[in-house]
């Protein structure tokens, strides 16, 4: 009861805080200035989301099968080597990665998508491997002993028991991804970075905020979305959330 009381108080405080901020923005004329950029913001959000969605989708489509393959007995010995290589992609600073991919792929969306893909791949591959490895060995032995084929073991036993960890990887990956998209502006990829960087250059806080606030909200929203998917998609028996 005390906890719910505290939660309610916290929520009220948050709402009041947001309202106060809004009122303050309105009072010093910042809110109308931000809203002036409305049509730009909507256009750029679409671009932003497209970059994140395409690169994220490619990373998921490549990362999960890669993780699955690297946990099969025949390829298990390559797992460490491959994760090292993928790890390298994440170790390179994001800005350097963008610069490098620009020098190969030119400017515009393709180098951005490539860089974001490289960045997003690691958490997905690592979590897929970790998730599949954490499936208890007795489960697999029981499945084999009852006459499941390797494909059936993967689909009915391994993946359902690993899906929570895999989705946690996707959640982290997409959060990193969407937070990095603003840098795309630097190599001509568009996105909300356009407003942020231009706002900085012109020393115009309203333009800066018109880019920064939607970026932050998008990151929170995507995280929430994947969280919901995690909640509903993971089988109830192995879902720590419910």
Partner 1 sequence: MIRLEQVSKHFGTMVAVDRIDMEVPTGAVCVLLGPSGCGKTTTMKMINRLIPPTSGKIFLDGKDTTGVDEVSLRRSIGYVIQQIGLFPNMTVEDNICVVPDLLGWPRAKSRKRASQLLDMVNLDPSVFLKRYPKQLSGGQQQRVGVVRALAADPPVLLMDEPFGAIDPINREVIQDEFMKLQAELKKTIVFVSHDIDEAVKMATRIAIFRDGKLIQYDTPDNILAHPVDAFVSEFVGSDRTLKRLRLIKVTDAMMSDPPRVKAEDTLETAVRLMDEHGHVSVVMVGPRGRARGVVRHEVARDLKGLVGEHQEPLPGIVNIKDDLRSAVSQMFTHGVTWLACVDDDGFYKGYITQKSITQVLGTTYRDR
User: Distance between CA atoms of 49 and 192, rounded to whole angstroms?
Assistant: 9
What minimum distance in Å lies between the beta carbon of 74 and partner 1? Answer: 17
Of the pair 93, 147, the CB lying nearest partner 1 is at: 147
Of the pair 160, 179, the CB lying nearest partner 1 is at: 160
Of the pair 5, 145, the CB lying nearest partner 1 is at: 145
Q: How many residues does the chain have?
A: 242
Of the pair 91, 137, the CB lying nearest partner 1 is at: 137
What minimum distance in Å lies between the beta carbon of 170 and partner 1? Answer: 18
Q: How many CB atoms lie within 10 A of CB 10?
A: 10
User: Distance between CA atoms of 236 and 164, rounded to whole angstroms?
Assistant: 11
Contact by Cβ (8 Å): 186, 197:
yes
What minimum distance in Å lies between the beta carbon of 163 and partner 1? Answer: 8
Of the pair 161, 180, the CB lying nearest partner 1 is at: 161
Contact by Cβ (8 Å): 116, 193:
no
Terminal Cα-to-Cα distance of the chain (whole angstroms): 20
User: Distance between CA atoms of 160 and 233, rounded to whole angstroms?
Assistant: 9
Going by C-beta distance under 8 Å and a sequence separation of 6 or more, which residues neighbour residue 193?
181, 182, 183, 184, 185, 186, 211
What minimum distance in Å lies between the beta carbon of 231 and partner 1? Answer: 15
Q: Which residues bind partner 1 (CB under 8 A)?
A: 136, 138-139, 141-149, 152, 156-157, 160-161, 235-238
What minimum distance in Å lies between the beta carbon of 239 and partner 1? Answer: 9
């Amino acid at each position: 009861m005390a906890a719910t009381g505290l939660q309610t108080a916290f929520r009220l405080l948050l709402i009041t805080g947001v309202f106060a901020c809004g009122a303050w923005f309105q009072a010093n004329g910042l809110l109308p200035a931000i809203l002036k950029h409305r049509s730009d913001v909507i256009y750029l959000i679409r671009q932003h989301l497209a970059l994140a969605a395409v690169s994220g989708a490619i990373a998921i489509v490549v990362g999960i099968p890669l993780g699955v393959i690297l946990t099969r007995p025949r390829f298990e010995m390559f797992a460490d080597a491959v994760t090292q290589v993928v790890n390298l992609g994440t170790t390179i600073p994001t800005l350097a990665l963008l610069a490098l991919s620009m020098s190969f792929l030119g400017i515009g969306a393709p180098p951005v998508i490539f860089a974001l893909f490289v960045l997003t791949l690691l958490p997905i591959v690592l979590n897929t491997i970790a998730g599949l490895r954490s499936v208890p060995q007795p489960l697999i032995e029981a499945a084999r002993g009852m006459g499941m084929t390797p494909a059936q073991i993967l689909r009915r036993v391994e993946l359902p028991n690993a899906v929570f960890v895999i989705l946690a990887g996707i959640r982290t990956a997409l959060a990193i991804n969407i937070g990095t998209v603003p840098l795309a502006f630097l190599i001509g990829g568009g996105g909300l970075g356009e407003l942020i960087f231009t706002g900085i250059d012109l020393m115009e806080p309203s333009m800066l905020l018109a880019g920064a606030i939607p970026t932050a909200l998008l990151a929170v929203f995507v995280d929430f979305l994947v969280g919901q998917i995690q909640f509903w998609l993971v089988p109830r028996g192995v879902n720590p959330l419910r």
